Amino acid sequence: MYYKQWKKIRLIISFFSSCCKVYGQAEKMPINEATPLKKPQSPYGNTKKMGEEIIEDYVNATGKNAILLRYFNPVGCP
């Protein structure tokens, strides 16, 4: 549904909200964008990683732009 709308208005940038769970158990801290991704330790982290891979494939296939946001505290601060 969204893709048809994006195509209609020729959206050139799409956003994907991910999280730090895609890093799995990192070997060293702090984690940054250069930290290699490991196997996620939960189904939630795995689906976020798969979502990122789908967006990456879409970008590579279409030449469109995308922004992946990896939140480290998706629930929020108290």
With respect to residue 37, please indicate whether it lies within any of the assigned structural domains.
Answer: yes
For range 53-72, the mean pLDDT: 86
Number of domains in the chain: 1
Marked catalytic residue, from 2, 3, 23, 44: 44
- The rounded distance, in Å, linking the Cα atoms of 41 and 4 is 34
Residue 23 among the catalytic residues: no
Going along 1-78, which residue ranges are E strands? Answer: 13-19, 65-71
Q: What is the pLDDT of residues 13-43, one digit of tens each?
A: 677 888 888 888 878 888 888 888 888 999 9
Q: Read off the pTM.
A: 0.71
Q: Which residues pair with 15 in a beta bridge?
A: 67
Band of pLDDT at residue 49, cut at 50, 70 and 90:
very high
Burial 54-66 (b: 16+ CB within 10 A, else e): ebeeeeeeeeeee
With respect to residue 62, please indicate whether it lies within any of the assigned structural domains.
Answer: yes
With respect to residue 41, please indicate whether it lies within any of the assigned structural domains.
Answer: yes
Range of the domain at 63: 13-71
